[in-house]
Chain A
């Protein structure tokens, strides 16, 4: 069986080496690139992202990736958003009063968490929905590494975590999956998640 071909979208955001290595560790054939044809053609596309929402959207805009991502989602082709790479999949990000339109393949807005200490930084527990494919084989009370100050409100069926308030820690909508935490920084638990995603690529 050939290894699934995964593209990590390189639009100038942060540490991509960890995502590349973590995916390779669980068996993916990983390419880090801004090449849209390669990204469109991959078995799975990872949309990473750290930093400010507006800066990430500007980076995605600069490489012209939004239509490709929308096209993949519309065609039911797997996409995995990570951290701000999850947030930009929503319709809107609101940071410090700056309201930035997102890619809009997920309904809703990303807002600042109501918590006394931000960023939400560290290892936290999550509550996946029953039958989650993303969290298959992951034990209860398993912790994942978060670092973010903004998040989306959880919809029914989303994986929930809490920091000051409940928020969407992960979503699974058809072929569109995303995590607010960093699986590539979450040790063996994160590797299990990435392995689950690779298996879903079929």
Chain B
């Protein structure tokens, strides 16, 4: 393979403003997603992800405006996720200038949405976003005799969650990723809710498990904290590595992450 590992910063956007990240003294307005997008583009980001966390539907119009202004100024691929419920939501985002759209809770509630969107817009723009966490089964798998493990030992090792990780679904995240790929998702954005925010590194076992189950690209998300964290995620099977706070707070720069990947012999742009 000659395609480069993608390094992707993710911006949390609330009512048109970046939620985290105020550490950029060289920006006029670090709260403006468009300014942040331009900065990351200039720093060599391979794609951008906007996660719309706007709670009020009344404020969602601002999201379309942000997407529109970003697409006018930034010429790398843009994925937008968060709060996407219907195929018409996707249509509006694509028309505003998004290249890909992440769907999560709505697809869990109704998996056929993945197929409908893939048929209408093409698999290339349907990203299945999976928020997954480890379950108690891992304790059993780690050596506790089967008869002593709890009843959940037969359940999934990684469970799909919704509503920002607050709600468990009992759904096996690996099986769900495979199903969504069959339904037409062109990419899996795999976010570890356990690792998210810890800066302890990606959940490599989760990446390996999903990589083994799907043949579409996998974006690793959650846990990036230091330069040595990125290479192992790729070794585990990720095609792209996503991070949010380490970039926004200036702990890591895109170029440094790419240099660290290149030092491991991985291809970067």
Contact = CB atoms under 8 A, between A and B. Distances in A.
Interface string A96-127: 00000000000000000001111111111100
B218 to A, nearest CB: 9
Contact of B76 (A55, A119, A145): A145
A185 interface: yes
Closest 3 CB pairs of A and B: A51-B122, A17-B97, A123-B269
A15 B41 contact: no
B75 A50 contact: no
A121 B239 contact: yes
Main secondary structure of the interface of B (DSSP, over half): loop
Interface of A: 14-15, 17-18, 21-22, 25, 50-52, 55, 84, 115-125, 143, 145-149, 161-164, 182, 184-188, 190-191
B52 interface: no
Interface of B: 1-6, 41, 46, 68, 71-73, 75-77, 94-99, 119, 121-125, 186-187, 215-217, 239-240, 269
B26 to A, nearest CB: 20
B217 A51 contact: no
A28 B8 CA distance: 30
Main secondary structure of the interface of A (DSSP, over half): mixed
Contacts of A125: 2
B4 A124 contact: yes
A163 B125 contact: no
Contact of A184 (B68, B73, B75): B75
Contacts of B46: 122-123
Contacts of B125: 14, 50-51
A143 to B, nearest CB: 5
Contacts of A186: 75-76
Contacts of B76: 145, 185-187
A18 B3 contact: no
Contacts of B98: 15
B41 A163 contact: no
Given A119-B216, A122-B5, 19 more contacts: A15-B99, A17-B97, A18-B71, A18-B97, A21-B72, A51-B121, A51-B125, A52-B119, A55-B119, A117-B216, A117-B217, A118-B216, A119-B217, A120-B3, A122-B6, A123-B6, A124-B2, A145-B77, A147-B99
Task: Name, among A15, A55, A187, the residue most crowded by chain B CB atoms within 10 Å (CB to CB).
Answer: A15
B124 A123 contact: no
B101 to A, nearest CB: 10
A22 B95 contact: no
A181 B26 CA distance: 33
